[in-house]
Structure formats: structure tokens, C-alpha cells
Amino acid sequence: MPPRILLADDNSSVRRSLGRQLEDRGAEVVLVGDGDEAWEWWSHERFDGVLSDWNMPKLDGVALLSRLLEAGPGRSAVLTLMTGDDPAHPSLGALRAKGVLVLAKPIEAQKLDELVRRSSSLRSRHGSSS
């Protein structure tokens, strides 16, 4: 089964473009427009990867990924934050320390390849149950 990736970005053209690129790499993708919607999907579905924009209305990407990390063991996924700002921003250190990938926009093709590969590997290790 393909890896399932949850993609959260409030910019619909970015969301659609990245979604297509991830699908072209073999992922099944769910597209959402903000962190609250992403949290709802996460609460009810299984995902192998999450790709979230930092700056979004309602629940931003940093808050979303922090909440996902707190969701507890047994809910592992490859967590990735994308930003149009400086990806070395000091406030992201805590997320990086917990294994979150931080990528600068525009996302390079090899970074998407890596996300799909790591998500697929995680799916293989934990089985394909949804």
C-alpha cells in the first residue's frame, strides 16, 4: 500500500501542486487548508507522513506538529514543517530536536522524494492497517 500523507497548507495552489507531486511519487494524499482541519483528520485516520505549512490560520504548523508529537506513542509519522521564512529560525529548535524535518519553500523535488520514502518505510515497519 502507498504511504498516506496529510498535507496542510492554506494556499490552495501550493496545496494542489504539492499534492500532485506527492501523488506522482506514489503517495496517497489528503489535502487540508489549516491546522484545525489537519488535527481532525489526524484524530480519525492513520497517516505515515504529515507535511504542514508554518503560517496558517487557526492552528499554525508549529502548533499542529507540537500537538501531533504530544498525541503519544503509537501514532508515529514522518513530520515535516515547511516555511517561506528562515528554516534555521531558533524557535524551531525544539521541533527539530524531536525529529521534525524543517524545509524551506519552495520544496525541492529530492525533499519530497525523501518524505515519501521515509513515510513508505514507516508504513512498512508498522504494517498497512488504516
Closest C-alpha among 3, 80, 82 to residue 46: 3
Give the pLDDT confidence of 77-96 residue by residue, as tens digits. Answer: 999 999 988 778 888 888 99
Q: What is the pLDDT of residues 37-61, one digit of tens each?
A: 999 999 999 999 999 999 998 999 9
Q: Which domains does the chain have, with CATH numbers?
A: 13-126 (3.40.50.2300)
Q: What is the number of alpha carbons within 13 Å of residue 1 lying toward its C-beta? A: 17
Q: What is the pLDDT of residues 106-115, one digit of tens each?
A: 999 999 999 9
Q: Which residues of 91-115 are buried (b: 16+ CB within 10 A; e: fewer)?
A: ebeebeeeebbbbebebeeebbeeb
pLDDT at 126 over 60: yes
pTM over 0.85: yes
